[in-house]
Each structure stands twice: as C-alpha cells, then as structure tokens.
Structure 1
C-alpha cells in the first residue's frame, strides 16, 4: 500500500523522479530543469494540488525564458530613456524627441538664469550620448488635446533656443514629407487636400 505525499512535498517528489530523465529526453535539459524548479517554487504559494492545477489550467504561462543568445538583427531592441537616466551611458544612435522650446528648455525651467543653464546642460548630456549618429526631432506643430476626432487645432513649435540659426550649418536637415515638384507641400497621411480638390472642381 502506497501513501500519498502531503502537499507541497508531492511536487518535490515528482520533480526528483523526473529530473534524471531530462538529459535523456530533452536537448535543453538545463533549461527544463530550471523550469521545474521554478514551478516548484510557484506551487509553494498554493494550499493544495487542486488549487495549483486549477490556476495553472485557467492561466497557463505563455512561454518560458531561456538564456540569452547571440543578438540577431531582427531581435534588436529600442531603449527609451529620460535625459537624466541617460547620464553616463552611450549608444550608437540616439534620437532626441521634441527639441523645441517648451520641451528643451522645459516651460518650468526658464524662470531664472541658473534654471535655464541647467536645461542647456541637459541638452548637452542628451546630445553627447550618441557615439555614431544623433537625430534631433523637431515637430512642426503640436495638436491640441481633447478635441473632436479628426480635428486639426494645433500650435506651431519653434526650435529650441539652444540651437540658434548660426549653428544650423552643422546639422543635416531632413523632412518627413518633402514637397513635390511645384513647391506645394504633400498632404499628411490620412488627410484630405481640400485645396487641390477645389482647384480640380473649379479650374
């Protein structure tokens, strides 16, 4: 007659029985051994095997992690960081968003000369994080929030005062939607060029 092991010792006994078979059955035996240990740790948080199995059935894990391998191009990742958190770090390419007045410097950082100089230093920190390529994003406008769907109320943005016109020669200027031949700006994606339609209608 066999006696049933109490919970959660039962899952420890099951793992101990299964562990010697891992190397024989699976190529990734070390990873699976770690999964079993993790499963055992999770099981300790449940009062019974029934509760544990019910939870595992209703909410099964999506995947199990493995050791990090050689990075692949299709697995590259993007790091989002504040300027303060970026201090002391470097990346090959850095994209600085919203290099406009109101953001850099912040509206809250222009009350005094020391505050303004601190904002200037922050921009210097952000720009010097790039080892190979630096891109400054300058939106032309900011759309007003809480307006009706499809609304176009906006305010125009101005380049940060820390990059005056005299310095623009040191930057390469690229535009998201270049003007086509004839000089008329291309309409933004998803928007209707009313002026062009009116010209077509009325010649």
Structure 2
C-alpha cells in the first residue's frame, strides 16, 4: 500500500491491524469513494470527513493511520530494507499487537522476524535498489498465500515461507555447508567466532533447519550433493553440520536392513589436505564419449549419454540398463569400457 496507494485490497488488509476502531462499513465507504473519484486512497484519507458513509468516530483513526503510512513512506529509499521493517513494526505498533501471550501471536511475530532476516540479505545495496530487489524477492514467494493443501502435486517452497504449514512427506534438499547453514553464517563464525552476532546468525540457521524438519508429519528426507555447480564451476559439497546433530536412532533404514550412513565426517579436511600435499593435477582427460558402453560394479552395464569436461573432472551421464540414469564422476567412478 505504501508503494501503491490505489491498492484497495492492501488497504483493506492492513487498516485494522492492529485494531484502530475502523470497521468494514468505513473501509467499504473509502474504497467506493476512491473508485468513483479515481483518486488514490492516501489522498482521500487526508480529509476522511468528506467521504460519504464514513462515521465521525472513524475520522480520527483514519487520520492516524494516514500519518503512520506517511511516516513509513518518508523513509523508503533512505533506510535499508531491514531497518525499514523495524520502522514499520514500531510505527504500526505490531510488536505489542502480536505479543499478546498467545501461541498464534508469537508465531506471527516469528514470521516478522524471518521477514526481517530475509531483508538483511539486501542491506548491502543502495537502500532504494535494495528495497526494490527485496520486494521483488518477496513477490516471487508470496504464492504461499494461495497454497491449497488439498491440491495435488508437489509444493516447492522456501524455509522462510513454510512456517505454519505441514505436509505428509517433506524433502529438504541442499543440506550442505554454505547452503544450510548459509555461507554468510559460516564466514561470520570463522572471522569472529566469539561475537554475539556470529552466534546469533548460526542459531538462526539452525532454527530454520528445525522449522523445515518439523513440517513433516510422516516422512522426512534430507539430502546433500557430493558435488555441486556453483558460480559456473563444479566444486565438492560437504554435508551440513546440522545432520550430525540428528541421533542415529531417529533415522530410518533406506533399503532392507542396511544401516543409515552418517554424514561424511572429515571429508572436507581430507580434501583440503590432499589439495595442499598433492602436486598440481593435470587437466582432466576425456576418457568417455557418447554412445560408449560401460560397466559399473554396482549399477551394471549402461550407455554413456553425455560426457562433459570441467576444470577438475569429467562428468558423465550414463543410462544403465537396470537402474536408469546416473550422473557420475569420470575420475572417481570405477567404470570399465
């Protein structure tokens, strides 16, 4: 509404949160007058007593609401996105409104805190550009408002938007260092491990992981990649430290009676040691080509669909006769032609 004072829907949603003794009759009268006069609602609220159908008792609350909105609008493009959210919460009186001692109010306040956390990732930009980018990001994930829990199909949703929802089956992908916890939290912890901010950042990442895990009612699947393409190149991925906090007794067996493999402990350290100790590796050689027949000790026979050279490896897409498509490392996979 601050960006678009003609948005009647947004006006109707926020004008009574918190309660300002502005009823539905008043809201309908303002919206009807705005449509007829083709004026923006904020301009109309400068003289609400002139709006037909608005009770005298609502004039003062409407003027107060307009003053609050103008206070927010005056700081847009000046304050950073997270600071602007703090200003909105303070000016609109949202904190005392939601912290009413009920679990629902506490959950709504947590949602505002999550929104502020998302806004912080845009604070390093020019305030006006950061606010525009932040609102664009929020618009991309706002489809959760139209979520139909009875609809068919998979729901793709972020951890910041999933609070309050539940699903029979949940897949959390990207449980890797640098993704969850985010690289920002890792950098702060490494540079200033004793600072309260670094500890708070990591605690927030842990809380996000907990929120995601507790959305599952029946089954929860947690996955991490062995190798991931980031910033145009392939690099090793390391399991999230949060995976090691899960007791083994709580994990189910994936197939038959095979035990659940714990995260690869020490893999990152061993990888770094090998990088330091080993001589510079020669560029990878393309050993396989599309159409080659290969054999893998576990997957059996198959056909190479695609071979791609990266700076450090040969990545293969192979269609195995019995287990279907697999993506393997040409340098690590025990393949024979």
Q: TM-score range by the shorter chain?
A: 0.3 to 0.5
Q: TM-score, normalising length from structure 1? A: 0.46
Larger radius of gyration: 1
Higher normalized contact order (CA 8 Å, seq sep 6+, divided by chain length): 1
